[in-house]
Amino acid sequence: MLYAIVGQDVSDSLDLRLAARPAHIDRLHALQQAGRLLLAGPFPVIDSNDPGDAGFSGSLIVAEFDSLSAAQAWADADPYVTAGVYASVSVKPFRKTFPA
């Protein structure tokens, strides 16, 4: 089943994000290579694809896991969690409807 993982950043998270990003991206690549990643990306703080020093307010990952507990365990082990980038993370079941 698909699960939506939404991380909300701490204030002024950009430096923490940049430091943890390579390890975070490596985990996403592993999901992608396994055919389990639907989409992933950050929420810019400002209305821009490249927010520069304004940074990001969080991230969204939609991926396939065997269970909610497996998705939660994966999210809990994310480098953005362990590095203190995220103030909170929610994991919810997700049903893709569109595009078909």
Q: Check residue 6 and give its pLDDT.
A: 98
Beta-carbon contacts of residue 28 (< 8 Å; ≥ 6 apart): 37, 40, 61
d(CA 98, CA 86): 28
Each residue's pLDDT tens digit, 2-29:
999 999 999 999 999 999 999 999 999 9
Question: Of 1.10.8.640, 3.30.70.1060, 2.60.40.1260, 3.40.50.980, which CATH number belongs to 2-94?
Answer: 3.30.70.1060
Q: Check residue 100 and give its pLDDT.
A: 86
Query: pTM here?
Result: 0.95
Residues of the chain with pLDDT under 70: none
d(CA 20, CA 23): 6
